[in-house]
Amino acid sequence: MRYNFELALRGLRRFPKSSVLVVLTVALGLAACMTTLTLLHVLSADPLPGRSQDLYLAWVNTLTSKPSTSHSLNGVHPVDYRTIKLPDAEAMLGAHKAVQQTALADMTAVVSNEDGTRKQENQTLLATTSSFMPMFGVTLRHGRDWSAAEGKAREHVAVIDTHLARQLFGTTQAVGRSIRIRKTLFRVVGVSEAYSPQPHFYDLADWTFSTGPEFHESVFLPYTSALDAGLGPDYDQYCDDASHKQFMEGFEKFGERHCDWLSYWVRLDTPHQVAAFRAWLDDYAEQRQALQGIHRAVHARLFSIPQWLTVQRVVPDSVRLNAWMAASFLLLCMANVAGLLTARFLRRSGEIGIRRALGAPRRAIFVQHVAEAAAVCVLGGVLALPLTLLGLWILRLQQHGDSSLARLDPAMFGFLFALALVVGILVGLVPAWRASRVEPGLQVKSA
């Protein structure tokens, strides 16, 4: 192997111009591929590693109006985040059919300290139940989360994150203090670490990916007391008796009991639990539909997180298309390099012939040339690293949304070199095979 490596290096130095060309071409192809794949990798990453495989979004179809799902000639189609009405959420929470369950909705409000001397505008509040934090893995730094009993009693308690605690109170030790939301004082029972999974899968209405510091929930509070304080969801989907008039004012007009606004999440650990819950959910929805005198072909749906992210098209098509384009470009570069290497290897036919004549088997010639190709391509991989970083920097410059997240992580860094090596070996196969076919006698004669 060492001998092969030495020969490869020698070969590289023998034709410096063509070596530079090959390395550059490989580097370009690898960098294009890595740039697009890194963005794809970041956008399609698991939002909650270790937990996401057990979480499911449950949806029941109980609106008395039929929400339009039409796709117009202009491609305008209503987004459906599969939220449900409050009575259904409460009935399902009460039934306790999953390991854990919670309902949630994002709300926006101005949050201030007790006397209103410090104020933070445009804060996102997550109105939910006491199960959210253990289910979704929010870590507390100080204090505790609220209990189910406190939620039921509609107590005015809240958990705020360290960032907001510092802004309002100058310290993260905010347990026991109070925050004011509208006219209501909420007692801070806990302070949490910053929490912003990517993508923001449990409520996609406000944002999909946090592309700035403003995209995170700074307050967690019971949905019961949030409603008491006069807050409403940022987005409601559809309401009973919907007509065109409810556009943008549904919740105010129809209220929490008649509009879809809560995302309902459950934790189910085993396939058996999933099947049992699915059956129960379907039954429940069918009963509710019968009670309300409506008939729908679909009663209910249960989405795993991967299904949910696919249905909602969280990763834009353009990102996947660009990855395909880059992959075909890499293929072009590989064909190109295979050509350049063939030319280079056959230029040394004489040398190969002599080695063969001196007794080197075809296999040795083959391995030597594949090794040389791999060496060139790994060198290309090294050069591709700065090029990839440049590509990602250019992506981040384009300040529209998701691409600002594109950064190279260690996994992708390792992948780059693995890819370079695989590309090198693949690219070397054909030229090395051709080189190993060189007839010893013919070459020695004409050299």
Partner 1 sequence: MGWRSMFSILRRNSLVPLLLWVQVALACAILSNVVFLAAQKLEPMLAPSGMSTRHLILASQIHSQGRAWTQGEVRGATRMLREVPGVKAVSVAMGVPLTQDIIFDLALEGSTGAKVGVNAYAGKGLVDTLGLKLVAGRDFRPSEYRATGIGGNFKTAKQPVRPIIITQALADALFGGKAVGKLAHNPEVRVHQDYRVVGVVRHLLRNQLNLANDGRSDDSVLLPDYVKSSTLLDFAIRVAPGTPSGVLKQIRKVIHDQFGPLMGPDAKAVVNFYDVLRARAFESQRDALWMFAGIALTVLIVTLVGIIGLTGFWVQKRTRQIGIRRALGARRGDILRYFMAENAMIVGAGAVFGMLLAYVGNHMLMQYYELHALPKSFLPTGAIAMLVLGQLAALGPALRASRVPPVVATRSV
Q: Which helix (H) or strand (E) holds 446?
A: helix 440-446
Residue 249 engages partner 1 in binding (rule: CB under 8 A): yes
3-state secondary structure of 14: helix
Q: Which is nearer to partner 1, 279 or 390 (CB)?
A: 390
- Dist CA 154 CA 223 (whole Å): 9
Q: Which is nearer to partner 1, 332 or 357 (CB)?
A: 332
CB contact set of 407 (below 8 Å; sequence gap of 6+): 38, 42, 392
Residue 2 engages partner 1 in binding (rule: CB under 8 A): no
- The least CB distance from residue 227 to partner 1, in Å, is 17
- The least CB distance from residue 197 to partner 1, in Å, is 23
- Dist CA 266 CA 100 (whole Å): 6
Look at residues 303, 268, 273 and name the one whose alpha carbon lies nearest to residue 51.
Answer: 268
Please give the angle made by the CA atoms of 290, 293 and 298, to the nearest 5 degrees.
60
- Considering only the stretches 43-51, 65-73, 202-210, 358-366, report the one whose residues sit in contact with partner 1 under the rule CB under 8 A: 65-73
- Dist CA 302 CA 21 (whole Å): 54
Residue 347 engages partner 1 in binding (rule: CB under 8 A): yes
Residue 143 engages partner 1 in binding (rule: CB under 8 A): no
- Considering only the stretches 74-82, 91-99, 142-150, 194-202, report the one whose residues sit in contact with partner 1 under the rule CB under 8 A: 74-82
CB contact set of 98 (below 8 Å; sequence gap of 6+): 266, 267, 268, 273, 277
Q: Which is nearer to partner 1, 21 or 274 (CB)?
A: 21
Residue 1 engages partner 1 in binding (rule: CB under 8 A): no
Q: Which is nearer to partner 1, 69 or 72 (CB)?
A: 72
Residue 69 engages partner 1 in binding (rule: CB under 8 A): no
* Contact in structure between 263 and 105 (CB atoms under 8 Å): yes
User: What would the x/- binding string for partner 1 be over residues 194 to 233, using CB under 8 A?
Assistant: ----------------------------------------
Residue 171 engages partner 1 in binding (rule: CB under 8 A): no
- Considering only the stretches 95-103, 255-263, 341-349, 367-375, report the one whose residues sit in contact with partner 1 under the rule CB under 8 A: 341-349
Choose which of 332, 390, 411, 422 interacts with partner 1 (CB under 8 A): 332
- Dist CA 7 CA 3 (whole Å): 6
- Dist CA 37 CA 382 (whole Å): 17
- The least CB distance from residue 402 to partner 1, in Å, is 12
Residue 324 engages partner 1 in binding (rule: CB under 8 A): yes
Residues forming beta bridges with residue 59, ordered by sequence position: 301
Q: Which is nearer to partner 1, 298 or 394 (CB)?
A: 394
- Dist CA 353 CA 283 (whole Å): 78
Amino acid at 236: D
Choose which of 65, 162, 178, 342 interacts with partner 1 (CB under 8 A): 342
Residue 311 engages partner 1 in binding (rule: CB under 8 A): no
* Contact in structure between 55 and 265 (CB atoms under 8 Å): yes
- The least CB distance from residue 317 to partner 1, in Å, is 4
- Dist CA 277 CA 101 (whole Å): 11
- The least CB distance from residue 387 to partner 1, in Å, is 11
Choose which of 16, 50, 70, 293 interacts with partner 1 (CB under 8 A): 70
Choose which of 185, 290, 298, 335 interacts with partner 1 (CB under 8 A): 335
Q: At 415, phi and psi to the nearest 5?
A: -60, -40
- Dist CA 64 CA 239 (whole Å): 8
Residue 339 engages partner 1 in binding (rule: CB under 8 A): yes
Residue 304 engages partner 1 in binding (rule: CB under 8 A): no
Site for partner 1, residues 92 to 121, rule: CB under 8 A: 108, 110, 121
Choose which of 50, 69, 73, 139 interacts with partner 1 (CB under 8 A): 73
Residue 358 engages partner 1 in binding (rule: CB under 8 A): no
- Dist CA 292 CA 299 (whole Å): 13
3-state secondary structure of 124: strand
CA end-to-end span of the chain, whole Å?
28
Choose which of 247, 295, 358, 359 interacts with partner 1 (CB under 8 A): 247
- Dist CA 332 CA 326 (whole Å): 10
Q: Which is nearer to partner 1, 189 or 423 (CB)?
A: 423
Site for partner 1, residues 388 to 407, rule: CB under 8 A: 398, 400
Token digits of residue 222: 């019971």
The alpha carbon of residue 224 and the mean position of all alpha carbons in its chain are separated, in whole angstroms, by 31
Choose which of 25, 83, 102, 113 interacts with partner 1 (CB under 8 A): 25
Q: Which helix (H) or strand (E) holds 302?
A: strand 300-304
Instruction: Name the residues that contact partner 1, by CB under 8 A.
Output: 18, 21, 25, 28-29, 32, 70, 72-76, 108, 110, 121-122, 245, 247-249, 317, 320-321, 324-325, 328-329, 331-333, 335-336, 338-340, 342-343, 346-347, 398, 400, 430, 434, 446
